[in-house]
Chains A and B, each alone.
Chain A
Amino acid sequence: MDHALIEEDALLELYAQGRLDPEVEEELEAHLVGCATCQEELIAVRGLARGVRRVASEEAARLVVQAGIASRLRRTFSGPGRWGWIAAAALVVLGALAATYAARMASENRELRAIVAAQGPGEGAGDTEGTRTTPKAPQDFGERDRLAALEQTLPAAVGTVVLLTEVRGADDTPPAVDRATVGGPFALAVYVLDDPRFSSYRMEVVGEDGTIAWQRSGVTPNAFEALMATFAPEFFAAGEYELRIFGVPDEGGAEPLESYRFVVL
């Protein structure tokens, strides 16, 4: 198999995604095993693919966090007292500064916004049967209206999105969900790197005493590679909890992956 054919037909890209015909795949592998150049190329293909997915995931996370902030601001502005109005005025000023700054950055982040626009609104895994969303890219990446619509949709669907991250040390404080302030359903979200070993994931919320407060199998990452579950605020009693993620391969069983602590107030 010669390099011109491999390049022209993007065989390494297709091989990395498992999309080659078996005969071609066999032929390519016979060549790949002894070809240092193609090995380097394949490693690059895999790194690039992983990076594109992670960029999309990070930008999606940023959008979700911004959506949560927008939701919080709306609640802050509803019925404030005297000091509330002062704080609100300060927020307006700061918000304007942030918006100006964000607008300047927007031109530099066009490609990143395009990813988000290409995905459309993400589906919370807790609200679906867990089928993977197949995102369709818009024909026009300048579709600002579509992006604006997306930004409007997320906070409306869920009051607050709590993005859970690992708590690495005893001094780290786990994120808190204040039931008095979430003002409606809230979502727990974690990000998972696309792992070909697993066809789905299992989510479990475990209480302080080790009992399982909630669990769901067959969860798949949404278009932003996030696992999300939505809860009514009264679902949890006050206390500390742990969200555990397991990878579930086709063959069955489950491999524990990550665990995330959070506190419900």
Chain B
Amino acid sequence: MAKIEIIIQVEDTPGGTAAVLSKAWVYWRSGGSTTVLRTDETGRLFTVRSGADRTRPWEYIGVFTAETSSQVDIYFSRGAKPIPDARLAENPTVFYTRKVPDKPAAGSMTAPVALNQTNSIAPKPAGVIVIPNYRILLTKPTELSLWPLLWELHNETYFTDGLSQGAALIGAGGVPTLVENGPAPAAAAAERPKERGLAVEGSIDARATGLRIRILDAAGNAVQLRQNAAATAGVLEVPGALKPAAGGLKPFTAIVYLLNTPPVLGPVQIFVLSDGVTPPLIEAFAVQLVGLQAALVNDADANPNGTAAGAVSGAALEKIMVDFEDSPQSTANALAAEGRARRMISYQMYNRDRALSATVATLVLKPEMPLWMGEFHALGLNRARLEDLMIRRKRQLATAPKTIKLNLPWRITTSWDGPDSGTGSPRLYRYSQIFSGAQEITFTLNPNDQLDNVNAQGEVEKAVTPVPAAMTFPVTGRRLPKLFITGKQRAWGRLAGAAAVDAALIEWQPQIADSAGAEILRGGDGILQVDSIQVDGARIDGGMLVTAGGPAPPPAADPDLRLPVFRILGLNPPSPADAVIDALVEEYFNRNNGLARVTLLTLACWQETIRRILAHEAGHQFEHRGSHRSRYAGQYYGLEQDMPIFGPPHGYGYGQHDDPPVTSDGAWSFFENIKESVRRVMADKATGAYSMVNAHMPAAVDQRTRAVYQREIVRRYNGGTEFQWNGTDWEISPGLQQWAEPADHSKGASDRLVYPNQVLGTGVVYSNGVGAATTFPWPIAFPAAQYGPGT
């Protein structure tokens, strides 16, 4: 039998104008077997090269010929990959039966030729077969794109579900009934974030009265889906919704919920089947399904210098964290009602011996933030799959892109509301601070169709902008963030036991620093999010959420990825922190040793004095007694474990900074708090005290003068003044309120009166008697026996 090449044409109406079927898959069923063929831009059929991947159009380079006058069944599709054999086999009625022409169609060509030498000419005529046209188009996702699958963002109820709250949490004694920092029970399934729906949009031949969607895995098998977000049973297909026809097409939408996601992540096909059309229409569109999620690891878990990667924390590591939402309150019950227990991952600060400052090499214990590394996961993606996708994009998309560009705007937000920040108070210490960073990742296909700059470890080098720079704190040698395209696996989601699959891993090293890039510490609540992820300049599709009004896309303002809120816990230095205090006092003393107010006391005396002040003030930086309440002046304050230690009405941290109010540096860094305390004592308080003492400074400074100076400074640290000059000598006559409550003398003397005694270990008698009968024997003599230590 003679054989001829074949050109396929399609017609929109029977007998109408036929057009070339360009760059389409043709399924040629003859003699009981089906062969996948490919048309070129002229409609000519080609066979796949021997041994080549039959899903790659450019491998269809073999001449195809058919026996003239033979009968054949034909179907075609225009997707980026062919319809899998099994799907064709289960849809045998889609084929059109045609007869192969008995001779080629007439043709013409133009051939430049040379004289006097042989010119070979081969018009390669072909017979033309015409079949009905049809159209099924996909607009979301677009073919050969990354099809992102995201998780819902955590609801507030996730954190509190199943945990006692309010009065049930804060017992009669004002302390939690749950074990703080103890393991948190798992949240109920209903409260856990779920995968979002995958939105599918397109249009189908207007003859269709319905359509169904299947998702085919890399082997062409339909994967299990769910009919809707709430369903738990598996189905093989979900219906699409049709809209009115326009231009011969009906737009359609569908939402796909996967039943078991991890094995599906990777290359998939969206398989569309029509209803209401005879013969039916089927089409398959190729996309790369990627599960996108973020994670945060603490490298310090693996080693204190952060040279190796820490582990990804999942829900199994969540602990019970207690706080008070609105503090203070006017009653204990009201404060208890504000008690909240949340399940949270916690990260603790660390302490490490480091140089006191850039100019003082003395090693002292300094705090530091966890050695975080943010992770962006694209599950289902590995080198082979990405290269395959990029090769197809280069060869099959009109723009022939050789790159895929990702933009990841990262953000860590830390915040905390202090016990005096309540809505009913002056709202003093509260803060929220954002630490952001943007990454642009460019995957590039080289001329050899390989991903550019992949090293032996599977890292893609030179792909991230800006180029990661080594962090200089808190320790040198920390690992740099990298981008891995192979050799990494990550679990899909945060649940214990979640299946892990291949993942592209993009790391981002958050820098908790001030605007000048200097290291700072911040604690409290933390949130890691990636706001608006872009692929090649366009924001990714956020999928579909379940809302009261039905499925809906997420609000545009929502971040694409957000980890559940985590807790950053402070870590106290071993108590007492005398070495830190002494070093900071010495540093201040040496730096200001030309000032009379500084040299009036010896270094040792300053160190002794300030150690005593700070020991009395708090002795710690962070609350270490468990969450509890504190009553002061008719207000009940909620104190939170591992948060800055608080003393009513507004004192924070080691030095109980209140006036001026504590800064965030002072709240979260014991080093900065102590440093500021030293400055307050040796500068702010000493300046006033020295001015007072200096007015009556003896020619030869004696111990009495130094003792007065020391005691005056101590008094001033707590507020008020201590001494007055009686014309010949110093005597104690405190310049502060005598009574605890001026309007109610039954409360007796103010506790604050004895502050210098408490700090300095002296026994000056400021009052006699109790209650309303209290008397104040002022002025009070200041004998040598009451001189403070070190003077």
Does A pair with B? no
Q: Could you list which residues of chain A lie within 8 angstroms of chain B, going by C-beta atoms? A: none
